Amino acid sequence: MATLSIPSPLKTCTGKSLLTLTDFAPDEITSLLSLAHELKKLQKNEIAYKPLTGKTLAMIFDKPSTRTRVSFEVGMVQLGGHVMNLNRQDIQLGRGETVEDTAKVLSRYIDGILIRTYDHETVDILAKTSTVPVINGLTDYYHPCQALADLLTLQEEKGYLTGLKVAYVGDGNNVLHSLMHGAAATGVHLSISTPAGYEPNLAVWKETEILAAETGASITFYTDPLLAVQEADAVYTDVWASMGQEEEKEKRLKDFAEYQVNQAMMDQAKEDAIFLHCLPAYRELEVTAEVLDGPQSVVFNQAENRLHAQKALLVALLGEF
């Protein structure tokens, strides 16, 4: 059984929650990425590492999930722990028991809570009332676990983060908000292009600018997506209608028509640019099949990296050093 030396900035993270990526300082994020690379190497070499033996993570899902659900469950098991899957309708939360009471009760049994839900406020309340770490597995506002995997993928594919140019084209949504935080924390220059009315949240933009000023990152908005992707090292997009926005789908199809990532758009980026997408993807809407399934796409490595990034997070939050 392997032992790993935990990067020192992570040694003070035990017991913390991850609600938004700004809960972690830039050196903590960099350390999480280093640990994730080490954990990936151990797993590829089939070397067991089980620092979370005897620990249990409860997972509450109010929205569907493939990657988050499976990667957290597999990750906990690989680290020696267990997972309990709790759908809202299967527990008393679905019958009106408060989030606060649920948090207090779960804290008596388990060691951490992952939640995917709509309102970010629900996750805030859960974290305030719980005595164990809470992990945001996606809200309408943020998707911090995804951003960790995105950074890990960029670092792995390009060899470095600071100074990279990443272009995000599409909806100013939860995935973009967390990517903004992650890019700013690691010195990545982020170009964003969204249709009018779909820009990222102004408060997140301001937080990102402050963080970027500390790290040398930059964040730039373009109305023209083809200008945003010029000379980019990576082009990122996400769905046009997120979970909970299904009734807006028809309107969004029209509003986002010029924002599809296709080969002509990829050709504006650097020749060795990679294509990123958090998945699930809708071929011929936000991205053509040619790009998603083409040689520049690293989306399945990116999906795999959810596992490695989250294992690092679980070790940092639930581990005992």
Q: Is-catalytic flag, 146? A: yes
Dihedral-angle region of residue 279 (phi above 0 means left; psi in -120 to 50 means alpha; beta otherwise) = left
117-156 positions binding ligand NVA, by CB under 6 A? 138
Segment near ligand CP (CB under 6 A); pick from 37-45, 65-73, 85-93, 189-197 = 65-73
* Helix ranges (DSSP H) in 99-248: 99-109, 120-129, 144-158, 174-186, 202-215, 225-228
Contact yes or no for 151/161 (Cβ under 8 A): yes
Q: In what order do the strands lie in the sheet with 218-221?
A: 218-221, 189-193, 165-169, 234-237, 274-277
Amino acid in position 139: T
The correct pick among 25, 74, 84, 243 for binding ligand NVA (CB under 6 A) is 243
Say whether residue 173 binds ligand NVA (CB under 6 A). yes
- Say what angle helices 67-78 and 299-318 make with each other, to 10 degrees: 50
- Active-site residue among 238, 252, 260, 308? 238
164-223 positions binding ligand CP, by CB under 6 A? none
Q: Is-catalytic flag, 143? A: yes
Say whether residue 239 binds ligand NVA (CB under 6 A). yes
Say whether residue 67 binds ligand CP (CB under 6 A). yes
Nearest Cα to Cα of residue 117 among 168, 68, 73, 55: 68
Q: Which two tokens stand for residue 237?
A: 């997009």
- Active-site residue among 111, 278, 308, 310? 278
The C-alpha angle 80, 84, 85, rounded to 5 degrees, equals: 130
Say whether residue 117 binds ligand CP (CB under 6 A). no
Q: Which two tokens stand for residue 79?
A: 């680290």
- Total number of residues that touch ligand NVA (CB under 6 A): 9
Q: Is-catalytic flag, 13? A: no
Judged by CB, which is closer to ligand CP: 51, or 144?
Answer: 144
Q: Nearest to ligand NVA by Cβ — which residue?
A: 242
DSSP string, 21-48: GGGS-HHHHHHHHHHHHHHHHHHHTT--
Judged by CB, which is closer to ligand CP: 84, or 243?
Answer: 243
The correct pick among 35, 99, 154, 175 for binding ligand NVA (CB under 6 A) is 175
H-helix or E-strand spanning residue 301: helix 299-318
Segment near ligand NVA (CB under 6 A); pick from 1-9, 105-113, 167-175, 189-197 = 167-175
Alpha-carbon distance of 131 to 110, in angstroms, equals: 10
The C-alpha angle 220, 32, 171, rounded to 5 degrees, equals: 35
CB of 134 to ligand CP, least distance (A): 17
- Active-site residue among 13, 62, 78, 146? 146
Say whether residue 242 binds ligand NVA (CB under 6 A). yes
Q: Is-catalytic flag, 189? A: no
CB of 256 to ligand NVA, least distance (A): 13
277-296 positions binding ligand CP, by CB under 6 A? 278-279
Q: Is-catalytic flag, 120? A: no
- Active-site residue among 67, 143, 177, 308? 143
Indicate the SS3 state at residue 241.
coil
Alpha-carbon distance of 6 to 123, in angstroms, equals: 28
Q: Find which of ligand NVA, ligand CP, none residue 99 binds, CB within 5 to 8 Å per kind.
A: none
* Active-site residue set: 116, 143, 146, 238, 278, 306
The binding site for ligand NVA (CB under 6 A) comprises 138, 173-175, 238-239, 242-243, 278
The binding site for ligand CP (CB under 6 A) comprises 65-68, 138, 146, 278-279
